[in-house]
Structure 1
Amino acid sequence: MSKSLCKKYTVQQVSRLFLLIALAWCSRFFVMPAMAQATQKPPLHGKHWMAITGKPLAATAGAIVFQKGGNAVDAACAMLAATCTMWDVLSWGGETQALIYNPKTKKVIAINALGVAPTGATAGFFKKQGYNFPPEYGPLAAVTPGTPGGLCLMLANYGKLSLKEVLEPAMQMAAGYPIDAQTANSIERGKERIKQWPYSKKVFLTHEGEKREAPEAGELFVQKDLLATLTKMVEAEQEALRKKKSRKEAIMAAYDRFYKGDIAQEFVRGSKEQGGLITMQDLAQWKPVEEEPLSVNYKGIDVYKLQSWTQGPALLQSLNILENFDLKKMGYNSAEYINTVYQTMSLAFADRDFYYGDPAFVQTPIQGLLSKTYGKQRAALINANHNVANVLPGDPYPYENKTNPYKNLLEQRALLTDTTKGKTPADFVPKHDAVPGLGFLPGFSDMAMNAAQEDSLYQDRLWRGTTSVEAADEEGWVVSITPSGGWLPACIAGNTGIGMSQRMQSFVLDSILSPFNVVEPGKRPRVTLTPSMALKDGKPFLSFAVQGGDTQDQNLLQFFLNMVEFDMTVQQASEAANINSNQLWLSLGGTKLDDRKPKPGSILIGRTTSETVQAALKKMGYIIALGNRTSGPINAIYFDQKHKTLWGGSSNNGEDYGIGW
């Protein structure tokens, strides 16, 4: 080494320089373990409890209820109530889907609190009005509200606290909370639609007639009508308690007031005034349902999902397919791995698009779809060298020793699939990478922003949102919820303050698209909403969920594989770059068939993906789009059975936030 170099640097600095050179050289040959990967957000750690959801204030609501002595069910219900009150891409008139682990029975319970199509909601009704799918917005988009009933059912059966105690944070927020920029700007962007509905205009446009008619970020947002509705529910509970009713009976008295009493009357009146179909009988007859979840075992881990009225079984089907491959050997997000996962999802979603629906109306072939043998047969269809664009639903009926009654429909349906390469922007930005009202995150080129705007409608349909709620406690209760519906711009039903659901749009009007999901009164639509839970050796292993429409089970599948196959921590797995496929029929939005058709080979990958991998994917027939953050946003809890502690993960892709203790 030269004398001049020695004079310039100290011995310690030179030693450090040589060490860095050595590490850089070694990194050419050795892959750093997952534990060494840096994350933008720290993992959460807790001994007593964990509360994670889509808004910081809502996570605080969960923490408040835990501090009151509530269990994970109480806290989850408090977070659910708070997120609805904050319009976190949902409201009180939406739907709730949940998985609950009961430590007393050591069983996973499924909660189905999805509303149903109202009286008069038939395929013929919508076709006469010129629709190819039920509408996206307004009173005719609404199924019956499910979240109030689902919350009451979960709280009554598995919580510890009163409804009054659990709703207190949400009621304080309804009385006035400082609104966040994302929600405030969503109101401003949707104000022209909001003006169509008088009760929505009254609530949301707090500065009507001014240049900005929505609330400003940080402004106290007051919802007097919603506060009155929640107060009525609590009054019904407290009156029942004064009459010496049990805790459970008192909570269900609040339920009855919502679905059969004066709240229901005003909801129906307000809905009908604005052109809606929901009747008092529809509300009174609807009930949340406690069900058996579906599950498959992947390498010793039991993974649980809701039944086929959700898209959840698509993740289970994907795991059955993927266990036929050595994913770890392929390497995380290698071209071979991405190609295998993409085609796996194409196969699972092709089945989802045709065979899933409300099993209370038509028995779905779910036993065949989740058969390991069927999974192996589907795995054999994956092309290792090129994406298969013309993926069609399979035939699971032989795996139930039955004959497929829909073979003629499958043949007709094949003609609908568009196998041409659709236009996908080279640099689009997923919805959750956008900063509402402020453009896009730093680092995006003008081309990227223009491309994003050109394709914004399609991406909005693909990602159309919800939130997620994750909670766990030291007693062993675990809750995973994916609630949704009534997102902005929402139509509020009368003077209830309740935003109506928009879930009707997930029905189809023709059997050729899906004989299981044609709209009928009293029927639940097949939804994208899909909480997840996993047990290992009979004990909680993971509780995880994500928002994002048709991308939900895509992101959750990869999150699970990140942990199980690639040894990532829960926070690393939450932030790790995923791929998203557009090779599926969209479940939300659009008024024409072409709006929802699959885009074969269209793929979103992380912006940091190497040029070598990108080139390999293009050679395989993929049309690539790049995103800055492609991780979810996923919320999850990992159960460290060795140390008897909780690890929380919350993606860096959104406002999601957690608190542990």
Structure 2
Amino acid sequence: MKIKLLFTSLLLVAAQFAAKSQSFNNFPVTTQKPPLHGKHWMGITGKPLAATAGAMIFSKGGNAIDASCAMLAATCTMWDVLSWGGETQALIYNPKTKKVIAINAMGVAPTGATAEFYKNKGMKYPPEYGPLAATTPGTPGGLMTMLAEYGTMSLKEVLAPAMQMAEGYPIEGQTANMIEREKAEIKKWPYSTKVFLPHLGKPREAPDAGEIFVQKDLLATLQKLVDTEQQTLKKGKTRKEAIYAAYDRFYKGDIAKEIARGTQEQGGLITEQDMANWKVKIEEPLMTTYKGIEVYKMQQWTQGPVMLQALNMLENFDLKSMGYNSSRYVHTLYQIMNLAFADRDFYYGDPAFAPEEPMKGLLSKEYAKERIKQINWEKNDAKIMPGDPYPFEGKKNPYTDQIKTWGNFHASTNRNDNGPSDEFMKEFTAGTTSVEAADEEGWVVSITPSGGWVPACIAGNTGVGLSQRMQSFVLDAKENPFNVVEPGKRPRVTLTPSLAMKDGKPFLSFAKQAGDEQDQLLLQFFLNIVEFGMTVQESTEAPSFKTLQMYGSFGIHEKMPGGLILNQAMPDWSRKELAQMGYKLSYQPRTSGPINAIYFDWQHGSFWGGSSNHGEDYGFGW
């Protein structure tokens, strides 16, 4: 058995990864995409045109904050599985303070959005689409706050690329075809129909690939923000004050009024007061150490702490000796991720609302050691339950009896004979893009924005597509007492930017799209570099695996106990060993991303960028 596992490991490593470490050897390039290199700056995001927007800002002297805001604005304008009415989560390393801070620009449940409201409509969860799926818009506030607090340029300069695109840009086939596929849902909403379906009544009602896609209402909204900023500057106010004046117009002025009106007209709940009450939060991120490396994540209103919990458990194992992607390695990570995800599914929620999440216990090294005692090393445990972190805070768990019956609450699994259904995977990987940026001054940005993906409900005549993140709430405390919907509350989301520090300096900035996949694949990406010595590009392309055993955060919140997606390159004997351990196997040709990442080469004073070899993610460096 040990010989077979070792051979499996050596075969996979030798076949796919020539490099020994990130220390820049002279082996031939083995990746399908070349790594990015830069000395002065680097920017990577989900669309080539949006990456170009970042490069334009860098070339004009902007810093990483300015460029990341430009890329964020461009991706929203291009509907890269998000829109202007969605949400933004960011980690920023500030070289002046030497600290990592978190930007919480997640919208909140609007007035009237109670569990009883949705239950009375016959729903088990808030809906996937439409105005009743919408939290208040967060991305505009997040962008303007980042720019005002940490950027150097004006809103007019940073929004210029996105405004040019709103005037009209050649739409990509991926987005154009998505619009065509989702046109039945789009037609439920009159303002969405006007924007997305320029050929209404024809066989193809969506734009063609390469057609100039025009968004007049969105352009007018962005112009209002810029006009307000410029008028405020003329009054002698500072750059920051002018940007916040634009912020106020979006959330308290005529734009907010039209968003509320247009949402309510279509059956939604968002009010003008909801818009005015919402604020961006600048927070302390959560952090753990893994072999001396500090890994930062957003707070527990995201799923980010899952990766921190997993690293705490994995630190107790010699992963390298198991062999990369051996059946033993896969089994170890799978079981540990499931332990962490079970905790996520029960304990995570908005810390601004009671009850208080037991994060001190969940992130303690001692809890991690106790948790791994539950692992069955011979078989998959399809009935992994949430743990008990309260004793590690000196408290008694008030939910002990509830946890005993927790697994009986959820929806049945969704699987056909060929693996997870298309609908299951669509919900499991819903939404999101990523933005990564760094500059020679030392600013580092990692963003995972999302919300308002096609088919989005557009709010009135603003051109702003509303978020669909309400569906990540639950309606019954038996499922998760920390994530029950309430007005003003943020849902527990999948969005999870990542930033790692080593020896007091930035080490990695990394993020990915695709819903519940995010932290499990980011974890493997991180281990690829730290444990197996891959370069950042190799790690973005490396064959990963995916657990489907956590409850999904979208749709009807299903899970598939024992569900394991492997890369097609996995050898037959490893497949057989994993099947014998109780896993329900399915396969994909590419399993690693899309991941975008920046590695900091302090030995040579440069950046290395990586972007997965599928999807439209792209970047530039200089």
Q: What band does the TM-score fall into relative to the shorter chain?
A: over 0.9
Deviation at 1:38, TM superposition (A): 1.2
What is the aligned partner in structure 2 of residue 187 from structure 1?
179
- Asked whether the 8 Å contact 2:18–2:30 carries over to 1, the reply is no
- Asked whether the 8 Å contact 2:413–2:559 carries over to 1, the reply is no
What is the aligned partner in structure 2 of residue 504 from structure 1?
470
1:87 aligns with 2:48: no
- Asked whether the 8 Å contact 2:54–2:68 carries over to 1, the reply is yes
SS state at 2:330 partner: helix
- Asked whether the 8 Å contact 1:34–1:566 carries over to 2, the reply is no
SS state at 2:415 partner: coil
Aligned pairs for 1:436-451 (under 5 A) are none
Deviation at 1:425, TM superposition (A): 4.8
- Asked whether the 8 Å contact 1:426–1:626 carries over to 2, the reply is no
One-letter code of the match for 1:112? Answer: N
What is the aligned partner in structure 1 of residue 581 from structure 2?
620
- Asked whether the 8 Å contact 2:413–2:558 carries over to 1, the reply is no
Match of 1:546 among 512, 518, 521: 512
Deviation at 1:278, TM superposition (A): 0.3
Deviation at 1:216, TM superposition (A): 0.3
What is the aligned partner in structure 1 of residue 407 from structure 2?
414
What is the aligned partner in structure 1 of residue 496 from structure 2?
530
What is the aligned partner in structure 2 of residue 462 from structure 1?
428
What is the aligned partner in structure 2 of residue 439 from structure 1?
none
Unaligned runs of 5+ in 2: 1-9, 21-26
1:373 aligns with 2:369: no
SS state at 1:540 partner: strand
CA–CA separation in structure 2 for the residues paired with 1:505 and 1:427: 24
1:357 aligns with 2:323: no
1:653 aligns with 2:614: yes
CA–CA separation in structure 2 for the residues paired with 1:256 and 1:145: 13
1:574 aligns with 2:540: yes
Unaligned runs of 5+ in 1: 1-26, 429-454, 591-595
Deviation at 1:410, TM superposition (A): 1.1
CA–CA separation in structure 1 for the residues paired with 2:270 and 2:348: 25
What is the aligned partner in structure 2 of residue 63 from structure 1?
55
Aligned pairs for 1:287-298 (under 5 A) are 287-298=279-290
1:159 aligns with 2:151: yes
1:325 aligns with 2:317: yes
What is the aligned partner in structure 2 of residue 39 from structure 1?
31
Match of 2:592 among 631, 634, 641: 631
CA–CA separation in structure 1 for the residues paired with 2:208 and 2:349: 41
What is the aligned partner in structure 1 of residue 5 from structure 2?
none
Match of 1:491 among 448, 452, 457: 457
Residue deviations 1:588-624 (CA, integer Å, cap 9, x gap): 113xxxxx23211110010010001100000110010
Residue deviations 1:266-324 (CA, integer Å, cap 9, x gap): 11110010001000100000001000000000001000000000000000000001111
CA–CA separation in structure 2 for the residues paired with 1:28 and 1:240: 63
- Asked whether the 8 Å contact 1:638–1:648 carries over to 2, the reply is yes
What is the aligned partner in structure 1 of residue 163 from structure 2?
171
Deviation at 1:30, TM superposition (A): 9.7
Deviation at 1:653, TM superposition (A): 2.0
What is the aligned partner in structure 2 of residue 307 from structure 1?
299
Deviation at 1:33, TM superposition (A): 4.6
- Asked whether the 8 Å contact 2:197–2:206 carries over to 1, the reply is yes
Deviation at 1:380, TM superposition (A): 1.6
Deviation at 1:379, TM superposition (A): 1.4
Greater alpha carbon shift after TM alignment, 581-590 vs 125-134? 581-590
What is the aligned partner in structure 2 of residue 397 from structure 1?
390
Match of 2:190 among 195, 198, 207: 198
Residue deviations 1:339-377 (CA, integer Å, cap 9, x gap): 000001100000000000000002110000000000111
Match of 1:286 among 271, 278, 282: 278
SS state at 1:380 partner: helix
SS state at 1:457 partner: helix
- Asked whether the 8 Å contact 1:425–1:625 carries over to 2, the reply is no
One-letter code of the match for 1:63? Answer: A
Match of 1:227 among 199, 219, 230: 219
What is the aligned partner in structure 2 of residue 348 from structure 1?
340
1:480 aligns with 2:459: no
What is the aligned partner in structure 2 of residue 560 from structure 1?
526
One-letter code of the match for 1:401? Answer: G
CA–CA separation in structure 2 for the residues paired with 1:583 and 1:137: 25
What is the aligned partner in structure 2 of residue 121 from structure 1?
113
Distance 1:494 1:389, change over 3 A: same
CA–CA separation in structure 2 for the residues paired with 1:188 and 1:390: 40
What is the aligned partner in structure 2 of residue 431 from structure 1?
none
Distance 1:223 1:422, change over 3 A: closer
One-letter code of the match for 1:646? Answer: F
CA–CA separation in structure 2 for the residues paired with 1:391 and 1:284: 43
Query: Which consecutive segments of 4 or more residues in structure 1 shift more than 6 A?
Result: 27-30
1:255 aligns with 2:221: no
One-letter code of the match for 2:612? Answer: S
What is the aligned partner in structure 2 of residue 437 from structure 1?
none
SS state at 1:151 partner: helix
Query: Radius of gyration: which is bigger?
Result: 1
What is the aligned partner in structure 2 of residue 383 from structure 1?
376
What is the aligned partner in structure 2 of residue 238 from structure 1?
230
Distance 1:43 1:615, change over 3 A: same
Deviation at 1:651, TM superposition (A): 0.3
One-letter code of the match for 1:43? Answer: P
Distance 1:211 1:28, change over 3 A: closer
CA–CA separation in structure 2 for the residues paired with 1:513 and 1:585: 10
- Asked whether the 8 Å contact 2:12–2:324 carries over to 1, the reply is no
One-letter code of the match for 2:328? Answer: E
One-letter code of the match for 1:261? Answer: G
- Asked whether the 8 Å contact 2:414–2:558 carries over to 1, the reply is no
One-letter code of the match for 2:385? Answer: L
Match of 2:207 among 209, 215, 219: 215
Match of 1:606 among 539, 542, 567: 567
TM-score normalised by the chain length of structure 1: 0.90
TM-score normalised by the chain length of structure 2: 0.95
Deviation at 1:632, TM superposition (A): 1.1
- Asked whether the 8 Å contact 1:421–1:601 carries over to 2, the reply is no
Deviation at 1:175, TM superposition (A): 0.2
CA–CA separation in structure 1 for the residues paired with 2:526 and 2:63: 26
Residue deviations 1:163-214 (CA, integer Å, cap 9, x gap): 0000000000000000000000011001111111110000010101110000
Greater alpha carbon shift after TM alignment, 31-40 vs 279-288? 31-40
- Asked whether the 8 Å contact 1:390–1:417 carries over to 2, the reply is no
CA–CA separation in structure 2 for the residues paired with 1:312 and 1:506: 15
**Count of equivalent residues:** 603
- Asked whether the 8 Å contact 1:99–1:480 carries over to 2, the reply is yes
CA–CA separation in structure 2 for the residues paired with 1:558 and 1:572: 12
